[in-house]
Amino acid sequence: MVSHIHLPQLESTHQDVSHSHSHQPQFEPNHYSNRKERGTFCKEHYSKGMAEKDDVQIPRVKLGSQGLEISKLGFGCMGLTGAYNSPVSDEDGISILKDAFNKGITFFDTADLYGTGANEILVGKALKQLPRERIQLATKFGIVKFEPTRIIVNGNPEYARACCEASLKRLGVDYIDLYYQHRVDTSVLIEDTMSELKKLVEEGKINYIGLSEASPDTIRRAHAVHPITAVQIEWSLWTRDVEEEIIPLCRELGIGIVPYSPLGHGFFAGKAIVENLPANSLLVTHPRFRAENLEKNSKIYNRLENLAKKHQCSLSQLALAWLLQQGDGVVPIPGTTKIKNLVENIGSLKVKLTEEELQEIAAAVPVEEVAGDRTYESMSNVTWRFANTPPKGSKASN
């Protein structure tokens, strides 16, 4: 997820969520056929080569209950075009995506917002060098731009369709496996947005539908229109507010869970603790990475580091293993620009934890001790707690 107002904005004529949504997106739509295919270091290593071996078998799991099968670990592509770091070259980006695939990761996550479309273009270039039918491709629509105090989103049906067409063009594909609404537009009935996405499924342009940062009410209402395959939500050792309502609801409805920022925006991989943040990183102003909060949060890091030593793994592997073992339907999507980090992330699948150990790890990160909000002030208006849409039967705002 993109998390800051200084990202390049999608220059368009979209309206604020409280105004008309009749304008079309900046990217020129492209029409495709209806073909539908369902292919099926941390800085020191405590393990005895665990993070360095390439022989980890990444399991295949069902995401949701509609038939989508993916790798148990996904890959978040956002960072390849910058956000927490400088963008990588196309050559390097393609190389890491191909390496991830060769190591068993087949679930790749991007969005039209990332790099103002450049991320999808990069992923599309990599796909040309990979067997498309063996890739599960996820992308998203709905975030229009960032303003100083909030994010502007658009859930208008016409906008959803135009964004899908534009993403297909940038990715160079004729179908998207999993298409998410990136953030919920609280001025548009979710039934209206979902009805259009359902049409896109029927036309073969998308195979499955997902939601990101949706409220329980919105998830239930959306699922009633067309089955939701996955909910993407922030979930990690230091962000667990979803455990009370969102996670149980997804399990009740048979919806898969895709945690973004599973390493706490890199915190559990040592960002800002054992390595300095790049000056151009969005994390410089993230609430939990600000100096006054980072000092407090470093105590959590040290506590977890000791537990990682006990389990003979790196801290990042421990954090990912904890999340991976929350159930088969949980598929984290850590991203990286470095092969060594990719190998280390995959190594987390070797870390086996008992129920007691899972509880011990969670207890090492008391939520009341985590300093700083989980997201930027400018993004608080589009988090799941504020993602209800107008009541059914009401008229959406114009």
Which of 114, 175, 180, 260 is catalytic? The answer is 114
Question: Which residues does 103 contact at the CB level (< 8 Å), separation at least 6?
Answer: 54, 56, 58, 342, 343, 346
For residue 230, what are its two tokens?
């996955």
Question: Using an 8 Å Cβ cutoff, are 99 and 389 in contact?
Answer: no
Question: Using an 8 Å Cβ cutoff, are 242 and 317 in contact?
Answer: no
Cβ atoms within 10 Å of 341's Cβ, excluding its own: 20
Question: How many whole angstroms separate alpha carbon 280 and alpha carbon 70?
Answer: 33
Question: How many whole angstroms separate alpha carbon 345 and alpha carbon 365?
Answer: 20
User: Percent helix, strand, coil in the chain (nearest 5)?
Assistant: 40, 15, 45
The answer to whether residue 114 is catalytic is yes
For residue 398, what are its two tokens?
């114009």
Encode 100-109: b = buried (16+ Cβ within 10 Å), e = exposed.
Answer: bbebbbbbbb
3-state class (DSSP) for residue 358:
helix
Question: How many whole angstroms separate alpha carbon 241 and alpha carbon 245?
Answer: 8
Any idea which residues carry the catalytic annotation? Answer: 114
